[in-house]
Structures are given as structure tokens and as C-alpha cells.
Amino acid sequence: MRFDAVVAGVGMTRFGKHLDRGLKDLGAEAVEAAVADAGLDLDDVQMAFVGNCAAGTVTGQESIRGQVVLHPLGVGRIPIVNVENACASGSTAFHQACAMVSAGFVDVALALGVEKLTHPDKTVSFAAFAGAVDVEEVAELLASLSADREPDGSRPDGSRPDAAGGNGGGANRSRSMFMDVYASAAREHMRRYGTTAEQFAAVAAKSSYHGSLNPRAQFGEVMTVDDVLAAPMIVEPLTRPMCSPIGDGAAAVVVMSGAEARRRGLPEPVRVAACVLHSGWDHAVDEPGTVELCSSEAYEEAGLGPADLDLVELHDASAPAEVMGYEALGLCAPGEGGPLALSGATRLGGRLPVNTSGGLLRKGHPVGATGAAQIVELTEQLRGTAGARQVEGARVGLAQNGGGKKGNDAAAMCVTILTT
């Protein structure tokens, strides 16, 4: 589907543990900032899509999350559509807003991603992630993850974990089960391609530098590769900085049709060149999956390829996910993601900066807000307003955001290309 849509305004909270703030407060900050950035009033918004993943589990709010969040702002009467699509909830909300303005149903639409994940009882937060798999298959999934270890308990490279390491049984109790999913994929990548823990650590170290330049990032500490490797082991081979944190936050995007942007005289708008959404399906392990499908269609729709990109916001829920994302998006050949991470090419000043925001690892991952936050980062980069983390001359940016698990793939995946 070809879109006729532009990003007219963006707004975002700082991501972090906002124990004293709720969905309404976080959402209001992002929405008001985005509408003001677009030079509009809230009355100009004709339709809203609100992405949220975990409110039902964490706060108890079900069914009317978007209406509840927007009502204090005086937003009512218009259609408000609640979007729940795992970690891709925010990007799905953006996709739907772009589709509606492109189809001519409305001229101005709002996409909001908002999430409250922190809770005094961490098992409640972890339970929110547990619902992003087929609940009838959880026991089978956990058993398969537990079985995916070297017979002697060693790491995939043959070395031994220390007493605090290993592949433990803490999924859903002391950590999200998705860290076990990513760790299993990482171990397979290490076995198949010789990828090393140092290469995964390079991703986390690079993103920590980027995050230190982003005032809205959850973490601002700069870490070296050695710092990352020396951090506590969560599940082999993932140390703590290689895992995205639990946090809260909101990000909002005002979308206009191209015609409305021209009518309003919007100066140099950021254009939605492509936005592709797919769900996972049953396919062979070695066959292309959702990332490859979404990105190939997005490149075709935009008339661009990986070589045309100036920056990428990639769904690095773990450091290995970024390495594998390089390969799936066509930024390098299969098996070359690890060397690419270690080369410095994806760092600011490198050939193709990735996750200039700090990514999920350092900016944070309030799951329903993440996809919209990627659009905020790309928009600011393409406008040239990203400050200390600005990519010089950025004209084309790609965002990849997915989540959930069904079978051997993500349950939902979205790839967006923005251009000036």
C-alpha cells in the first residue's frame, strides 16, 4: 500500500521508571507536545489511534484505554481506536493513522503509544510480557528454551559460565521470558556464524554512547565493551546491558495527508515513503521471516534500498536482536552482523548509524510506546533537530518495530521508511 501521508508533529516523554505518573499524565505530555509541534489545536485532530500493550495486566485498565487517556485532554466525539499488537502497538497505531489519511477518510490523525510497565511487584511487569505468546503453549516454549543449552552447561563458544551465570530457570519470575527467547537465538547465531559475546557487547556499548546524548533516554551512562561483558549475567550470553529495561513512557505523532499539508503550507514535511505491517506465519527456520518481508516491501514501495538509508531505528530488545536485525534488513550479509557491530559503522559518525536514540537498550522499552518513539527519533533526525546525536545530512530513515512470538517468528512486525 502506498501512503500519501506526512509527519506533521511529534512529541515524547522521557522514558524511565515513572512510579508517580500514570497513563493519562504520560499520554497528555506526548500528545500536547506533538499537536503543538504540528502547529495545531487538539480540535484539529479528526481520529486517534492509541497503542498500548500491557495496561490490562499492570494497571487493570481494559477495553477503553485510549478513551481514558485522551478524555482529560478534551478529546472525545472523534473515533478513538485502541490498538494492541504486542511491542508493535505503537507502530501499528502509526500505520493505521497513515492509512486513514492516505485513504482520504480524515485529513489529520493522531497516533499515540503509551505504556506503564513499572509496578511494585516485578512479577506483574514480567506477566505483561508473558501474555505476548500463545498462553496455551507457554509450558512448551519454556521447556524448549530450557533444553537449548550445551550438554555440559557451557557457553556456545565452549567457555564456562560462572556460578551467577548459566541459562537458569528465571523466565517469568526474575526476567521476561523474551530474554530467554533472544538468548536462545543468540546462541544459535554464535554456533552458526561464530558470532561472539564481544560483538553483542559492542552493540550495547555503542547504544550507551548514543543514549548519553539523548535527554529523554532512560539510561545516560556510557559503557565500554568490557563494562558490558563484566555486568551481571541475565541469561547466557546476555549480560544486563544487553537486555532492554522495563520502563514507562509515551510518544505521539500527528499525521496529515499530503494534500492537507500542502493546504496548510507545512514547510518541508517529513514524508511517509513506506509503512508495512505483517504478522508472523509458519515458515521453515531458514526461510525469510517477518522482518525480511516487511523490509523488502518497504524498500520496493519507497523505491529505495539499504544503501540509501542514512540511519536506522531498530528493535533492539536485546543486543543480539540488533545484530540479527542488521542482516534481516539487508544492511549486511547473513553472518556479518557481528563484525558490523564491532566495526563502528553503526555508531554516530559511522557509515550507517543505528539507534541514535539509544535504542530500546538505553532509551528504554515501554512496549506500547516504542514504535511511535522510533518515528519521533527519525523525524527529528530528518528535520535536523536531533542536537548532539544529529546524523549529518540525514534524508532517509528506517524504523523496524516488532513483538510477540508465534511459532518461530515475531507475531507482529512493522517497517517504516521516512524521507524528506
- What DSSP string describes 117-128? ---SSHHHHHHH
Q: Which of 87, 243, 294, 332 is catalytic?
A: 87
Cα Rg of the chain, angstroms: 20
Task: Clarify whether 283 is annotated catalytic.
Answer: no
Task: Clarify whether 98 is annotated catalytic.
Answer: no
Question: In this structure, what DSSP letter does residue 85 have?
Answer: B
Sequence-separated (6 or more) residues with CB below 8 Å from residue 392: none
Q: Give ∠ CA 354-356-357 in degrees, rounded to 5.
A: 125
Residue 293 corresponds to which amino acid? L
The distance from CA 388 to its chain's CA centroid, rounded to whole angstroms, is 22
Q: Is 409 helix (H, G, I), strand (E, B) or coil?
A: strand
Distance, in Å, from the CA atom of 86 to the CA atom of 267, rounded to the nearest integer, reads: 34
Q: Which of 18, 278, 315, 365 is catalytic?
A: 365
Residue 150 corresponds to which amino acid? E
180-to-139, 143, 235 alpha-carbon distances in Å:
13, 11, 7
Distance, in Å, from the CA atom of 297 to the CA atom of 293, rounded to the nearest integer, reads: 6
* Residues paired with 398 in a beta bridge: 312, 417
Distance, in Å, from the CA atom of 300 to the CA atom of 277, rounded to the nearest integer, reads: 14
Q: Is 6 helix (H, G, I), strand (E, B) or coil?
A: strand
CB burial of 28-54 (b: ≥16 within 10 Å; e: otherwise) equals: bbbbebbbebbebebebbbbbbbbbbb
Catalytic center residues: 87, 365
